[in-house]
A and B are shown apart, each in its own frame.
Chain A
């Protein structure tokens, strides 16, 4: 069977903050419909990789090709408009706005019937958000806020969804809920790139993984091929 053309191609990406290099020539692909997880110790360049894809940091060298179009150096709003949405580690919600307002902000560029349909779809996916649609987002639990953040990203109908530590700060029970959410997104054919420190969740949800160390890709493969033997990867990440 032919390998599908990658939706996202990262080639020899170099990103740094000031004089400190974080990514040093990372290269990887994300193919349509898969969930790829980036693994690595703190400071290995996982979140920086996400931020470079979204345009929050400008790469010093290398290429970010999204569906054949070079996006390195484009401002975040242009990249978002192309179809890349990120759920950041901080979630970046608008705490004083209601759940529904937060969701609608994710689709400000579309209006009318299309927006209403997408909103209804998000509520079908997250019934708890429908119950709380008139509530200020700051009054929700951490897990519910994460649902709002994911829902808001989905409101833009992204072709690539970036999830930066979706289980960050959540209870084990809610981590399982996040895993279920990712499963349903995969069933719907949403392409995802995820950074996750929780290896159980990462391996439960992802199709493929890559390991970053000191800003370079040092390992990678198919999650199913690991057959639950993750020790080698853990050693590769942390030792």
Chain B
């Protein structure tokens, strides 16, 4: 089915909706308790992790699994900068993003050498495990198995352990990065990313520097997920190597697929659903995993293109530029 692109009026509505959602979310702390606020903060972290992941795996079409490595790099960079060098945590967010982008640069090396599909998957998985090994063994820097505690800090006289304050900071960072990514993917660059995914040789033959496109996408993905790592470090207050293993990678992958591969909207929906779901399923002790699995499988069977496809059917305002519809 061909996608119907939104009209100019619908695009205006979309912009309005984009800003209306965070505006309404500003009121969320009025309706939460400390527990639900903590979950909401976790959702915002997951949104950025999923967003970064879907860029490389969905938009660029590279089977790259270095996402958890970028996340760990971001979290540890933030913790080390804050705890060892006394850098204010807020300032560590873009710095963690920069280290994540550096991770993206390193991870793209394999893709730039023409390594693709399962081989790229294994190499990037190894990169993630190598980073986890580094967190465990660089004890003077990372704290080894004991991890890295985040230092106590205040902002405008409020402790950064306050979940409401964290929520507002997380929301601002998330909105900023989602908007920046949407703009990036709607630009000439987004068109080139899509072209590389569809036919790299044909793209190169049009004098488009495909290597630079791949590199920049990995770096932007690393930046977004690196920033998420800094938020995560403050969210949990203590960074452990175990947080950046295969389990996290699989959970992020599920969020990408449930939301809709390659869709920014899908990244948000998948992250929100799969972060909230385990918490709600706590009401069914002993059956959580079963229900979780059934719901994830059910969503993917009913909507192979993820939750975002449901909204696209409702209105063209949810159609994303350069998003690939179901074949």
Give residues 91-118 of A contacting B (CB, 8 Å): 92-98, 101, 104-106, 108-109, 111
Q: Is A205 an interface residue (CB 8 A)?
A: no
Q: Which residue of A lies closest to B204 (CB)?
A: A77
B191→A80 contact, CB < 8 A: no
Instruction: Kindly list the 5 A-B residue pairs having the minimum CB-CB distance in the complex, ordered from nearest.
Output: A92-B202, A80-B207, A76-B205, A77-B207, A94-B198
Chain A residues in 8 Å Cβ range of B192 = 105, 108
Whether the Cβ atoms of B2 and A139 lie closer than 8 Å is yes
Would A80 and B194 be within 8 Å (CB), given that A96-B324, A134-B5, A135-B2 are in contact? no
A54 within 8 A of B: yes
In the bound complex, residues from chain B placing their C-beta under 8 Å from that of A139 are 2
Minimum CB–CB distance for B261 against chain A, Å: 13
Contact call B322/A97, Cβ cutoff below 8 A: yes
B3 within 8 A of A: yes
In chain B, positions 138-197 with a C-beta closer than 8 Å to chain A are: 188, 191-192, 194-195
Does B209 have its Cβ within 8 Å of any Cβ on chain A?
A: yes
The reply to whether B203 and A105 contact each other, CB–CB distance below 8 Å, is: yes
- Nearest A-chain residue to B3, judged by Cβ: A136
Partner of B2, one of A93, A136, A156: A136
Contact B206 A106 (CB under 8 A): yes
How distant is the Cα of A96 from the Cα of B190 in the complex, in angstroms? Answer: 13
The answer to whether B288 has its CB under 8 Å from any CB of chain A is no
Residues from chain B with a CB closer than 8 A to the CB of A98 are 5
Q: How far is the CB of B260 from chain A (nearest CB, A)?
A: 14
Chain A residues near B296: list those with CB within 8 A: none
Quick one: CB contact mask for A55-97 with B, threshold 8 Å, 1 for yes? 0100000000000000000011110110000100000111111
Q: A77-B208, A94-B202, A135-B2 are in contact. List 5 more A-B contacts (CB 8 A).
A: A76-B205, A94-B195, A97-B191, A105-B191, A109-B208
Q: Check B129 for interface membership: any CB of A closer than 8 A.
A: no
Q: Is the CB of A95 within 8 A of B191?
A: no
In the complex formed, the residue of A with least CB distance to B209 is: A77
A–B complex contacts, Cβ < 8 Å, 15 sampled: A76-B201, A80-B206, A92-B202, A94-B195, A94-B198, A96-B194, A96-B198, A104-B191, A105-B195, A106-B206, A108-B188, A135-B2, A136-B2, A139-B2, A156-B206
- In the complex, the answer to whether B188 meets A111 with C-beta atoms within 8 Å is yes
Contact surface of B with A, Cβ cutoff 8 Å: 2-3, 5, 188, 191-192, 194-195, 198-199, 201-209, 322, 324-325
Q: In the docked arrangement, what's the CA distance between A226 and B204, Å?
A: 40
CA of A56 to CA of B201 in the docked complex: distance in angstroms?
Answer: 9
In the assembly, what is the distance between CA of A216 and CA of B226, in Å? 58
Least CB separation from A54: chain B residue: B205
- List A contacts of B199 (CB < 8 A): 92, 94
Could you say which residues of chain A place their CB within 8 Å of the CB of B195?
94, 97, 105
In whole angstroms, how far apart are the Cα atoms of A209 and B9 in the complex? Answer: 54
Q: Which of B194, B195, B201, B325 has the most CB of A within 10 A?
A: B195
Say how far B61's CB is from chain A's closest CB, in angstroms: 11
Complex Cα spacing A54 to B201, Å: 12
Inter-chain contact A108/B208, CB cutoff 8 Å: yes
A76-B204, A96-B325, A134-B5 known; A101 vs B209 contact (CB < 8 Å): no
* Chain B residues with CB under 8 A of A156: 206-207
| A109/B205 in contact, CB under 8 A | no
Report B-chain residues with C-beta under 8 Å of the C-beta of A92: 199, 201-202, 205
**Contact A108 B207, beta carbon cutoff 8 Å:** yes
> Which residues of the partner chain B approach A93 to less than 8 Å between Cβ atoms?
202
How far is B92's CA from A49's CA once the two chains are assembled, in angstroms? 56
Residue in contact with B205 in the complex, picked from A77, A104, A111, A135, CB distance below 8 Å: A77
CB closest residue in chain B, given A135: B2
CA distance A86 to B204 in the complex (A): 13
Q: Which residue of A lies closest to B198 (CB)?
A: A94
When distances are taken between beta carbons in the complex, the residues of chain B under 8 Å from A97 are: 191, 194-195, 198, 322
Distance, CA A97 to CA B208, complexed state (A): 16
Inter-chain contacts of A76 with B (CB < 8 A): 201, 204-205
Q: Which residues of A contact B209 (CB under 8 A)?
A: 77
Tell me whether B5 and A105 are in contact (CB under 8 A): no
Determine if A94 and B194 form an interchain contact, defined as CB atoms under 8 angstroms apart: yes
Contacts of B208 in A (CB 8 A): 77, 105, 108-109
Least CB separation from A101: chain B residue:
B191
A192 to B256, CA, bound (A): 47
- Give the docked Cα–Cα distance between A77 and B199 (Å): 14
A216 to B325, CA, bound (A): 47
Chain A nearest CB from B208 CB (Å) reads 5
CB distance from B100 to the nearest CB of A (A): 27
Give A212 to B209 CA distance when docked, in angstroms: 34
Q: Please pick, from A94, A109, A135, A136, the residue contacting B207 in the complex, using a CB distance under 8 A.
A: A109
